[in-house]
Amino acid sequence: MRKKNLELKTTNNQVDTSTQTPIEIALKIDENGMTTASQLYSFLELHPAHFSDWCRRNIKNNKFATKNIDYFPFTVESERNKPKNPKPRIDYKLTSDFAKKLLMTMEIMRAMNNPCNILSDDKIQHLYKYLMENI
């Protein structure tokens, strides 16, 4: 039995942001509770050239995430039929919860790896508490 291919399209519908948290608005969570990996990556202000590697490390090879539950891979439509593009770009639809967990993980790692920022255990706990309350 062949699995039916999941059709994930972005819509131009306006999303009611009155019930969303600030982070959900910033990540552009849609009416289905989803965002894209490229949107999250852009929000994190990471270098565009490393998007594929970042997705592989943090989404595809994430032992805490399940394909077709937490994330849904799709081919970017604008790159699907380009003649000089033998390998079109793959993006991922992410559930709101998974996107927030990735965001929290990336922000904590960024804070811990910043040599200018000496974090005590109290500061790490405060950052974690802040992220948990605001995500």
Tell me the C-alpha distance between 135 and 131, whole Å. Answer: 6
Residue 10 lies in a domain: no
Contacts of residue 80, defined as CB under 8 A and 6 or more positions apart, other chains included, come to 88
Percent of the chain whose predicted confidence (pLDDT) is above 90: 39
State pLDDT tens for residues 21-49.
Answer: 888 888 899 999 999 999 999 999 999 99
Q: How many domains is the chain partitioned into structurally?
A: 1
Is 86 inside any structural domain? yes
Residue 114: inside a domain: yes
Within-domain flag for 83: yes
Using only C-alpha atoms, the chain has a radius of gyration, in whole angstroms, of 17
DSSP sequence for the chain: -PPPPP------PPP-GGGS-HHHHHTT--TTSEEEHHHHHHHTT--GGGHHHHHIIIIIT-TT--BTTTEEEEE-GGGTT-TT-SSPPEEEEEEHHHHHHHHHHHHHHHHHH-TT----HHHHHHHHHHHHHH-
Is residue 116, in this structure, part of any structural domain at all?
A: yes
Domain of 63, in residue numbers: 17-134
Mean pLDDT, residues 8-31 taken together: 74
Mean pLDDT of 16-24: 80
Report yes or no on 5 lying in a domain.
no
